[in-house]
Amino acid sequence: MTSSAYLRPRDLDEAIVARAAYPEWMVLAGGTDLMVDANRRATPSGILDLWRFSPLCHIRAHDDGLTIGAGTTFLEISRDAHVRERFRPLAEAAREVGALQIQARATIGGNVGTSSPVGDSLPVLLALDAELELWSVRGRRRVPYRSFCTGYRKTLLAPDELVVAVHVPAPAPQARTRWAWRKIGTRRAQSISKVMGAAMMELDSDRRVAWARVALGAVADRPIRVTAVEDAVRGLSIAQAADAARAALRGAIAPIDDIRSTAAYRLAVAENLVARFFSGIPS
């Protein structure tokens, strides 16, 4: 692949000015998605190189939660002590993106940018109710991740915008908040997901589900929140919630047959997975 123009911006202002001037240029982060079919794609007219671009490479904990720069790699996320302790499903999902070599290049901004239905961090962002920070010369905006994906690999990102950061709100006091993450592939490591998902829930003092956010990937054209399950489990004891979740999932999703799996398998696994989100909660 050859390209006629290349820019390594000095700062974010230069990056968004270039993005506005050349919206057709390739925005390159880790390149783990973009390089896969580089030889089959038309040569881009230019490359905006954001790999290891320092304004995008950070993990910051603050009172309201966590901010992760879009250029942060999954290896950095999986190894960050604060993420591991307080945002565990994010660290677990990061550790299951490809192999170590991929994790060392693949960025969270790239996962969001590709917006594949099998992007492993994406259901986690839904379950954690994350927001994206998008910058352009027109201004900055924060978009709830739940409204960002609009179709198969389609998003609200405008041609002149960059994903700058992911904001994750702080969880309620740990005693009452529970998390879950699970990825099912053809093998335990280095596989593309057949189904994966994440959940976050809060239990009340009677160990009933006060609320839950349940998200799945690889069962629709985009990562989805399964609100039918969330509604069905509200107010139930943990013991009741697993069966209710399983029942509510039927009819709520319509996975497809494809090269990686069948619709029937995906549905059966997704039912088990959402049930496990609740039955797996330690007492």
Any residues with CB less than 8 A from the CB of 146 and at least 6 apart, and which?
126, 129, 225
Size of the site for ligand FAD (CB under 6 A): 27
Asked whether position 110 contacts ligand FAD by CB under 6 A, the answer is: yes
Asked whether position 46 contacts ligand FAD by CB under 6 A, the answer is: no
Q: Is 250 helix (H, G, I), strand (E, B) or coil?
A: coil
Q: CB of 109 within 8 A of CB of 134?
A: no
> The tokens of 97 are what?
């993106």
Q: Which of 67, 72, 107, 261 binds ligand FAD (CB under 6 A)?
A: 107
Q: Which of 49, 76, 80, 120 binds ligand FAD (CB under 6 A)?
A: 120
Instruction: Give residues 154-183 in contact with ligand FAD (rule: CB under 6 A).
Output: 162-163
CB of 181 to ligand FAD, least distance (A): 13
- Rounded Cα distance between 52 and 108, Å, is 12
Contacts 24+ apart (CB under 8 A), 140-143: 140/164, 142/167
Asked whether position 126 contacts ligand FAD by CB under 6 A, the answer is: no
- Rounded Cα distance between 92 and 167, Å, is 18
Which residue's CB is nearer to ligand FAD, number 104 or number 247?
Answer: 104
**Residue among 53, 54, 98, 56 nearest 75 (CA):** 98
Contacts 24+ apart (CB under 8 A), 186-190: 186/260, 189/96, 189/99, 190/98, 190/99
Asked whether position 23 contacts ligand FAD by CB under 6 A, the answer is: no
CB of 162 to ligand FAD, least distance (A): 4
Q: Which of 36, 254, 256, 268 binds ligand FAD (CB under 6 A)?
A: 36
Q: Which of 16, 18, 34, 269 binds ligand FAD (CB under 6 A)?
A: 34
Instruction: Give residues 77-106 in contact with ligand FAD (rule: CB under 6 A).
Output: 97-98, 102, 105-106
Asked whether position 184 contacts ligand FAD by CB under 6 A, the answer is: no
Q: Is 12 helix (H, G, I), strand (E, B) or coil?
A: helix
Which residues are at the interface with ligand FAD (CB under 6 A)? 27-34, 36, 50, 70, 97-98, 102, 105-107, 109-111, 113-114, 119-120, 162-163, 192
